[in-house]
Chain A
Amino acid sequence: MQARSCLSNTLVQLSNTLMSSYPAETNVVATPVPVEASVTPNAVRALFRRWWIPFAASSLFVVSGHLLIKSGLSAVAQGMPSLSLWTRVLHCVMQGQVAAGLLLYFLGSLCWMMAVAQQEISFLYPLSSVNYVLVVFASSMFFGETVSLRRLSGVMLIVLGMVLMNRKARGPAQ
């Protein structure tokens, strides 16, 4: 969805607000295990402690989610001009693949949040521009979309801009 950064930024900001009220976990053995922690196996939690794993998962989920959304949207009947805007949206959202894609997308945002909790956003943002490249390549591969040189160079400029935009952001914190 369009709102990739919008949704994930919300989650990041909310989680920062919420998480700041909890002290960092120091000794797992001595402290009683919280209810939600006992649900998740320790191995999985340890896996997500490495920032690049949630980051890669977020890219995978966001890109595949969008591919599913697009493929589902194409399957929804096209000619419904008489229906109102919201009815047409409802038709789209209730299509199986679109719904699954949105769910994947949401999971991707959660993973992004986990990555952001461990690494600076100015470091992660340029890396996340790989999503644009992946989506464009996958669209041409799976949907047979023609990606012109012009479109490709546009994507490359976006990647370049995102790298430059966050390069200077590593200055002293304000």
Chain B
Amino acid sequence: MSPKLMIWLSVILSAVAQIFLKQGLSSLQKRRAGRNPGSIILGVVREVYVWLWGMFFALATALWLLGLQKLDLSYAYPLVAFGYLLVNILSAFFFREKVDSSRWIAVAIIGVGVMLIAGS
């Protein structure tokens, strides 16, 4: 796997991880896990999506470290911003969150910036 592919995969996995976390924490909230910290932590540990988040997060971190080993930091780090674009798309799709047009424009600008860096 090329270092660039690793960085991109890492960014994508992180965005998906965010969606898992959001899903996990909202279903936790719906179940009203309780008020005291102990039962909240227990609820977090029992939630499947939280585990998925953890796995994706670990994998993303691993790929990030391996990719960054071979690439410029000034190249790889700004690519993280691609995550904003992905999270907006994914949450509009999966959670039916309302993303207004000005937000899409902003996200598109970030996308153009990331593409400029990717080709640099």
Q: Which of B40, B63, B77, B119 contacts A132 (CB 8 A)?
A: B77
Q: Which of A40-48, A49-57, A113-121, A133-141 is the interface stretch?
A: A133-141
Q: Is the CB of B69 within 8 A of A76?
A: yes
Cα–Cα distance between A113 and B108 once the two chains are bound (Å): 27
Q: Is B52 an interface residue (CB 8 A)?
A: no
CA distance A66 to B37 in the complex (A): 32
Which residues of the other chain, B, contact A160 by a CB distance below 8 angstroms? 109, 113
In chain B, positions 60-86 with a C-beta closer than 8 Å to chain A are: 60-66, 68-70, 72-75, 77-78, 80-81, 83-84
A-B contact count (CB 8 A): 165
Query: Which of these, A3, A9, A154, contacts B60 with CB under 8 Å?
Result: A3
Contact B68 A73 (CB under 8 A): yes
**In the complex, are the beta carbons of A161 and B77 less than 8 A apart?**
no
Q: Provide the residues of chain B in CB contact with A136, threshold 8 Å.
A: 74, 77-78
CA distance A141 to B74 in the complex (A): 11
Residue of B nearest to A153 (CB): B116
**In the assembled complex, A82 has its CB within 8 A of some CB on chain B:** no
Q: B residues 1-47 with Cβ under 8 Å of A?
A: 7, 10-11, 14, 17-18, 21, 25, 28-29, 35-37, 40, 44
**How many whole Å from A27's CB to the nearest CB in chain B?**
23
Interface residue? B107 (CB, 8 A) = yes
Residue from the list B40, B100, B112, B119 in contact with A18, Cβ < 8 A? B40
Q: What CA separation (Å) do A58 and B2 show in the bound complex?
A: 31
CB distance from B74 to the nearest CB of A (A): 4
Contact of B57 among A6, A74, A140 (CB under 8 A): A6
The answer to whether A6 and B107 touch across the interface, beta carbons within 8 angstroms, is no
Q: Is the beta-carbon distance between B62 and A86 smaller than 8 angstroms?
A: yes
- Known: A139-B72, A139-B77; 8 extra A-B contacts, CB below 8 A, are A6-B57, A78-B70, A143-B72, A154-B117, A160-B113, A161-B84, A161-B106, A169-B103
Give me the interface of A with B, judged by CB distance under 8 Å: 1-7, 9-10, 13-14, 17-18, 21, 66-67, 69-70, 73-74, 76, 78, 85-86, 88-89, 92-93, 98, 129, 132, 135-136, 139-140, 143, 145, 147-148, 150-151, 153-158, 160-165, 167-169
Please give me the 8 A-B residue pairs with the lowest Cβ-Cβ distance, nearest first: A157-B113, A161-B110, A154-B116, A164-B106, A154-B117, A165-B106, A161-B109, A139-B74
